[in-house]
Amino acid sequence: MIDSEFIRRSLERLRTHDPECSLFGAVRHEYQLNPPLAESSVVAIERQYGMHLPDDYRAFLTTVGNGGAGPYYGVFRLGEHDHLRDYCSWNEGELVGTLSEPFPHVDA
């Protein structure tokens, strides 16, 4: 179960203790989350890539935020990755692989 209020309170405490956003990566996300996604947007991405997101991640996306504040430079929005010094969309089979297929790296 996602405790969205706990997450928001924690981010507010971090902002209070680091108002200059001097901790590594904070200058990028400023302890802010992106707005949550509508359930229909999550369903559309799942259909596009032929996969189902874990329930906890889905709850995070739809109740807390679609990326933003997080470790280092923050959490990517669903369907994005970093490219040089900016973000870009996933390209099927290029960066993230084919999400409808089982994860291929299961051995140590």
Assigned domain for 90 exists: no
Query: What is the tally of structural domains in the chain?
Result: 1
Measuring CA to CA, which residue among 34, 31, 36, 39 is closest to residue 15? 31
Does 102 reside within a domain? no
Place of tokens 């507010």: 12
d(CA 8, CA 108): 37
Q: How far apart are CA 57 and CA 85, in angstroms?
A: 25
The boundaries of the domain holding residue 61 are: 4-79
pLDDT at residue 90 tops 80: no
Residue 65 belongs to a domain: yes
Q: Is residue 64 part of a domain?
A: yes
Domain assignment of residue 32, yes or no: yes
Mean pLDDT of 51-71: 93
pLDDT at 95: 64
pLDDT of 28: 86
Q: Per-residue pLDDT for 94 more than 70?
A: no
Vertex 93 angle, CA 92 and 98, to 5°? 85
Identify whether 17 is part of a domain: yes
Which of 103, 100, 102 shows the shortest CA–CA distance to 92? 100
Does residue 62 fall inside a structural domain? yes
Q: If we measure between CA atoms, which residue out of 104, 35, 32 comes closest to residue 73?
A: 32
| Residue 93: per-residue pLDDT | 47
Lowest mean pLDDT among 6-10, 56-60, 101-105: 101-105
In a domain, 98, yes or no: no
